[in-house]
Amino acid sequence: MNSETACVHGAQFFDPVTGAITVPIYQTAPFRHAGLGQSTGFDYSRSENPTRKVLEQTVALLEHGEYGLAFATGMSAISSIIKLFSPNNKEGGRKTHFIVSEDLYGGTYRLFSEYYAEYGYTFSWVDTSGISHIEAALRPETKVLFIETPSNPMMKVTDIQACAGLIHQKGGRLIVDNTFLTPYFQNPLDLGADFVIHSGSKYLAGHNDTLSGFIVHSNKAFEEPLLKVQRSEGAALSPFDAWLTLRGIKTLSVRMEKHQTNGRRVAAWLQGHPAVETVFYTGLSDHPQLAVSQRQARGHNGMISFYVKDARIIPSILKAVKLVLFAESLGGVESLITYPLVQTHDAIPEEMRLSAGINEKLLRLSVGIENPDDIIADLDAALGR
Ligand SMILES: *Cc1c(COP(=O)(O)O)cnc(C)c1O
């Protein structure tokens, strides 16, 4: 099935009784058993729910994976996957080591550095767009390479295939957060990744109206352990949010195409604006990793970061935008503008933030699906001359 078709038809649910062509919202906690030892396959909605199951199968299908698991948020999906790896490494009592993209979602940084580091895991934060940087950070106890590509907010691109080769040679696993491109434009499992992570709150659901998170993989050995984490931790996606996410996915292909068209237009326009110093967008012809993007992805998103020449104009830009909303998220139909320094990336220590390029001059745009002329007119008025 082509991916546009898979978005619309997904796991192809038909209600066997009524013929309904969309899955109902099975708003129930328990499921009745007909007798001892007799289950419909559904017992209690923390463990499994029919609406959630159709969504899990749909996301797995789109990501070319065997198994899909849905969680309440992207963060709970990330927190759950870490449970597959014990903090204590048997080899020489060393602490299990992760190599992580340094330029990534601020919440992931906070989860790893403020919680999992306390439990004994160790982390190296690396610019993964350079494979030599990853090689230099490898240790005997490295078990996981966790990457975001394109990265957030600097839009660096990491070579997924090269990462898979490197970490597999050391017996470790590759986790790719694919929130920014979605399975419509990129399939990390096909490029050798072991796990794909999503914040479904962004492009997948796509309407800035719900939260969800996913893990997709194809490894039978991880099927039971991950179901056990999902069941035990209980960060289950609610039936209604599962339904909203499914509803959003039906239009993923047309939205992503439009985000890309608008993203290209706005990025090119920003490059010519006198108040703008540098534009970071994966679709620009001078993007340093354009060749890698073209090899591993089928398109670009609507995510653009840019430096203004003078940071003093930022408060007035954020106050002046009208159509483009000053808010902290991405991937929805509405265009949003974010100030990473104080919003999404405030948990990252200053030194690391600055070395990644996240400074007081940086703004991030999630270009929506409005008419691009209206987006540009709004930004033009806000940026001033
Ligand atoms: C938003 C986001 C997350 C976290 O997802 P939530 O659904 O907000 O918990 C993780 N990774 C990336 C790349 C994100 O953009």
Under 8 Å between Cβ of 130 and 160: no
Q: Check if 202 is active-site.
A: yes
Tell me the CA–centroid distance for residue 199 and ligand 1, in Å. Answer: 4
The pLDDT of residue 88 is 80
Asked if residue 86 and residue 133 are part of one domain, the reply reads yes
The 8-class DSSP code of residue 44 comes to B
The pLDDT of residue 123 is 97
Tell me the CA–centroid distance for residue 15 and ligand 1, in Å. Answer: 32
Per residue in 39-51, pLDDT (tens digit) is 999 999 999 999 9
Task: Pick the last residue of a domain from 191, 225, 249.
Answer: 249
Asked if residue 231 and residue 373 are part of one domain, the reply reads no
Asked if residue 213 and residue 332 are part of one domain, the reply reads no
The pLDDT of residue 142 is 96
- Which of 112, 186, 199 for mutating ligand 1's site (highest number of atoms within 8 Å of CB)? 199
Q: Which atom of ligand 1 is nearest to the CA of 179?
A: 13
pLDDT-based confidence at residue 95 (cuts at 50, 70, 90): confident
Asked if residue 379 and residue 267 are part of one domain, the reply reads yes
**Averaged pLDDT, 133-146:** 97
Asked if residue 328 and residue 241 are part of one domain, the reply reads no
Instruction: Enter the tokens of residue 250.
Output: 């039906």
Does 50 sit behind a cis peptide bond, omega within 30 degrees of 0 on the bond before it?
no
Q: Is the CB of 152 under 6 A from ligand 1?
A: yes
Residue owning the nearest CA to atom 8 of ligand 1:
74
Q: Check if 26 is active-site.
A: no
Strands across the sheet containing 67-71: 67-71, 213-217, 195-199, 173-177, 142-148, 97-101, 122-126
**Averaged pLDDT, 212-224:** 98
Query: Which CATH number characterizes residue 323's domain?
Result: 3.90.1150.10
Task: Pick the last residue of a domain from 222, 249, 276.
Answer: 249
- Say whether pLDDT at 362 is over 90: yes
Asked if residue 165 and residue 216 are part of one domain, the reply reads yes
Instruction: Enter the tokens of residue 204.
Output: 């997948």
The span from the CA of 6 to the CA of 376, in Å, is 33
H helical segments located in 83-170: 106-110, 131-137, 160-169
Instruction: Enter the tokens of residue 329.
Output: 């998220």
The pLDDT of residue 14 is 79
- Say whether pLDDT at 172 is over 80: yes
What percentage of the chain carries pLDDT values higher than 70? 99
- Annotate 268-320 with three-state secondary structure: HHHHCCCCEEEEECCCCCCCCCHHHHHHHCCCCCCEEEEEECCHHHHHHHHHH
Asked if residue 235 and residue 196 are part of one domain, the reply reads yes
Task: Pick the last residue of a domain from 218, 249, 280.
Answer: 249
pLDDT-based confidence at residue 344 (cuts at 50, 70, 90): confident
H helical segments located in the chain: 3-9, 50-62, 74-82, 106-110, 131-137, 160-169, 182-185, 220-233, 239-249, 252-271, 290-296, 314-320, 350-356, 372-383
Asked if residue 275 and residue 211 are part of one domain, the reply reads no
- Say whether pLDDT at 91 is over 80: no
**Averaged pLDDT, 121-125:** 96
Q: Check if 250 is active-site.
A: no
**Averaged pLDDT, 244-252:** 98
Strands across the sheet containing 325-326: 276-280, 303-308, 362-366, 336-338, 325-326
- Domain of 263, in residue numbers: 253-383
pLDDT-based confidence at residue 94 (cuts at 50, 70, 90): confident
Asked if residue 212 and residue 359 are part of one domain, the reply reads no
Q: Is the CB of 105 under 6 A from ligand 1?
A: yes
Asked if residue 257 and residue 204 are part of one domain, the reply reads no
Into how many domains does the chain fold?
A: 2
The span from the CA of 20 to the CA of 366, in Å, is 35
Query: Which CATH number characterizes residue 219's domain?
Result: 3.40.640.10
Q: Is the CB of 74 under 6 A from ligand 1?
A: yes
Question: Closest by alpha carbon to 352, among 102, 99, 97?
Answer: 102
**Averaged pLDDT, 203-221:** 98
Q: Is the CB of 202 under 6 A from ligand 1?
A: yes
What percentage of the chain carries pLDDT values higher than 90? 91
The pLDDT of residue 339 is 96
**Averaged pLDDT, 304-325:** 97
Give the three-class secondary structure for 228: helix
Q: Check if 105 is active-site.
A: yes
The span from the CA of 334 to the CA of 330, in Å, is 9
| 171 φ, ψ (degrees, to nearest 5) | 80, 15
- Say whether pLDDT at 92 is over 70: no
Asked if residue 81 and residue 24 are part of one domain, the reply reads yes
**Averaged pLDDT, 227-239:** 96
- Say whether pLDDT at 272 is over 90: yes
Q: Is the CB of 177 under 6 A from ligand 1?
A: yes
Tell me the CA–centroid distance for residue 91 and ligand 1, in Å. Answer: 33
Give the three-class secondary structure for 157: coil
**Averaged pLDDT, 7-30:** 90
Under 8 Å between Cβ of 317 and 330: no
Asked if residue 299 and residue 174 are part of one domain, the reply reads no
Distances (CA, A) of 48 to 185, 186, 201: 29, 28, 20
**Averaged pLDDT, 195-221:** 98
**Averaged pLDDT, 214-220:** 98
Q: Over the chain, what is the mean pLDDT?
A: 95
Helix (H) or strand (E) holding 69: strand 67-71
Neighbours of 264 (CB within 10 A): 18
The pLDDT of residue 59 is 98
